[in-house]
Amino acid sequence: MAAEVSVAYKDYLAGLAAGVATVITGHPFDTVKVKLQKHRTDVHGIKYNNALHCTTRILKNEGVKGLYRGATSSFVGMAFESSLLFGVYSQTKQLLLEEAPNNSRPQLQVVIPSAALGGALISFILCPSELLKCRMQVQGTDSLVPRSDRYAGPLDCALKTLKNEGVTGVFRGGFATLLRESIGNAVFFSTYEYSRYYMQLLLNSSFSNHSNQSKALIDVGVGIVSGGISGMAFWSAVLPIDVAKTVIQTTPDRSSSTNPFRVLHSIHSKAGIRGCYAGFGPTLIRAFPANAAAIVTWEFTAKILGIKRE
């Protein structure tokens, strides 16, 4: 029993390291994505031509720190979220594999419920942290938020949200976050497990006589590619839900609908399919390096901690 607790602890620690790597690599891209989503789905304010136009204006007016606006809450949220996601996924997968037929190939009946469960659980952590992050991100350059209503920082945002909207206000957009994370992570880990399995199968047979150092480099390469394409698969599957979540969490009208499907219908009627996929470019550009960094960090930390990957 003590050994099982020790292994579980290591799974969560490896996940935490992956979360930190994700924020460092991906937050600037996320800031651009959120701004594009906000400005392309609002009838007022400046309309960015593309992600480069948005990035240029942020750098010109705020410098690099503008790209990391809202990163404090993101670091805290992502650290806990990633720790819980990877920990729950690893532990649930291990539990389900004990009941499944012995097979070296990834098994969707194991991967999907493990990932969906992890995604559903982390949505309760992600929702409030992303609400603070998104509200901070839409404040900077070309903001549609009046200066009198802007927040001094994440703590000020949290306190004012609690004061004006109560505890339920902190969890605004919770259903959209739940849908995004449960569906998205089922797609993410399915893509990751299968791409990793087939790449390792191919490369290990081709480089079977190479040194341990060469094999370690192969593992890093596999982690980069499998993590990167899995992140892109995640966002390709759930970006419209994420657009709805951003609108729900950043709208000044707190009485507006929090149903992501109604919000998407409204976005589509105003901005068409392009509005539903606002921020698609920077999201995909961010997805590859951020998730590659997460997977490589996760696998490397797990290896250091002596966790055996199934």
Nearest Cα to Cα of residue 295 among 26, 3, 114: 26
DSSP for 156-172, written as a single string: HHHHHHHHHHHHHHHTT
pLDDT of residue 210: 64
Q: How far apart are the C-alpha atoms of 154 and 302, rounded to whole Å?
A: 32
Of 167 and 281, more confident: 167
pLDDT of residue 143: 60
Q: How far apart are the C-alpha atoms of 137 and 279, rounded to whole Å?
A: 14
Which of 22-31, 67-76, 96-105, 107-116 is most confident? 107-116
pLDDT of residue 296: 95
Q: How far apart are the C-alpha atoms of 291 and 90, rounded to whole Å?
A: 17
Condensed to tens digits (0 to 9), the pLDDT of residues 23-33 reads 888 888 878 87
47 pLDDT higher than 80: no
pLDDT of residue 2: 43
pLDDT of residue 144: 58
Burial of 204 (0-12, 13-18, 19+ CB in 10 A): middle
60 pLDDT higher than 80: yes
Measure Cα distances from 173 to 214, 256, 274, 292 in Å: 46, 11, 21, 27
Sign of CA pseudo-dihedral 47, 53, 54, 58: negative
Average pLDDT over residues 251-274: 90
1 pLDDT higher than 50: no
Question: In which band, very low, low, confident or very high, does the pLDDT at 211 lie, cut at 50, 70 and 90?
Answer: low
Question: Mean of the per-residue pLDDT values for the chain?
Answer: 85
Q: How far apart are the C-alpha atoms of 89 and 190, rounded to whole Å?
A: 12
Question: In which band, very low, low, confident or very high, does the pLDDT at 286 lie, cut at 50, 70 and 90?
Answer: confident
DSSP label at residue 308: P
Question: In which band, very low, low, confident or very high, does the pLDDT at 310 lie, cut at 50, 70 and 90?
Answer: low
Crossing angle of helices 2-40 and 71-99, in 10° steps, is 130
pLDDT of residue 293: 94
Pair of tokens at residue 296: 């490589």
pLDDT of residue 141: 59
3 pLDDT higher than 50: no
Asked if 288 and 232 count as a contact pair (C-beta separation under 8 A), the reply is yes
DSSP for 214-238, written as a single string: HHHHHHHHHHHHHHHHHHHHHHHHH
Asked if 265 and 218 count as a contact pair (C-beta separation under 8 A), the reply is no
Asked if 307 and 239 count as a contact pair (C-beta separation under 8 A), the reply is no
Sign of CA pseudo-dihedral 255, 261, 263, 265: negative
58 pLDDT higher than 90: no
Average pLDDT over residues 168-179: 94
Average pLDDT over residues 199-204: 85
Question: In which band, very low, low, confident or very high, does the pLDDT at 39 lie, cut at 50, 70 and 90?
Answer: low
Which of 92-106, 201-215, 220-234, 245-259 is most confident? 220-234
6 pLDDT higher than 60: no
pLDDT over 70 for what percent of the chain? 87
